[in-house]
Amino acid sequence: MPAARPHIEPRRIPAADSVVVKEIYLSLQGESSHAGLLCGFVRLTGCHLRCTYCDSEFAFHGGTRMKNADVVAQVLAQRTPRVEITGGEPLLQPGVYPLMEALLAQGLTVLLETSGAIDVRLVPPAVHKIVDMKTPSSGECDRNDFRNFESMNARDEMKFVIGSREDYDWARALITEHRLAEKPFALLFSTIFDKLHPRELAEWTVEDRLPVRFQLQMHKYLWDPNARGV
């Protein structure tokens, strides 16, 4: 008589009504056209990229799985009119899409911080998408998904984090080649903190008269640049 097969539990696929959360906190928005405004933050766990200048490596692993309804409740308890979903890379989690819908249903202004490596076409149109196109010094430049050029709308912003003259020239060429200034979304330039002096980037931008919004990572000047929860 053949030996009985060992019992194997079926693989459990997480429900789409939950996400793995690294942290939820209240602060000022440090970047984008929303900079300086009170904002709640929901940082999700996990990322498929390993950018050289990443400032949130602590979000690669760990976290707590939470029902979307519980995440929404915590955000509402912060009493802020806007919230940003960030990571890691939040679009890796299927539950983030219904989470964004649930936050919008509460009348909140919802921002999404995402890499340029995933097409944002499935993100609810009412969400303000901030898409971080990876420059050469990130080490992940070849992961950019150029379909985002057609997936973004007038609520959205495309961010270029510049750490060198090579990054700047690459971003400038991309804007020209793909006529990004004619797209409905805004273009943002900022520096890698402590890698390129902001004045250099500002001067290059003025000299070339680029149609971009120059910005600083405000939170890194207000608090310790390595501080969490700000």
What's the pTM value of the predicted model, to 2 decimals? Answer: 0.89
Q: How far apart are CA 75 and CA 38, in angstroms?
A: 12
Two tokens, residue 168: 């700047």
- Report the helix count and the strand count for the chain, using DSSP H and E: 6, 9
Which 3 state secondary structure label does DSSP give 215? coil
pLDDT tens digit at each of 230 positions of the chain:
444 444 434 344 455 899 999 999 999 998 999 999 999 999 999 999 999 999 899 999 999 999 999 999 999 999 999 999 999 999 999 999 999 999 999 999 999 999 999 999 999 999 999 999 999 999 999 999 999 999 999 999 999 999 999 999 999 999 999 999 999 999 999 999 888 999 999 999 999 999 999 998 777 777 776 777 76
Is residue 46 a contact partner of residue 96, using CB atoms and an 8 Å limit?
Answer: no
Non-local (6+) Cβ contacts of 98 within 8 A are 16, 17, 68
Q: How far apart are CA 61 and CA 192, in angstroms?
A: 23
Is residue 42 a contact partner of residue 78, using CB atoms and an 8 Å limit?
Answer: no
Our measurement of the distance from residue 162's CA atom to the centroid of its chain's CA atoms, rounded to an integer in Å, reads 16
Q: How far apart are CA 102 and CA 144, in angstroms?
A: 28
Type of residue at 148: N
pLDDT value, residue 6: 44
Instruction: Pick the closest to residue 33 from 189, 209, 193 (CA basis).
Output: 189
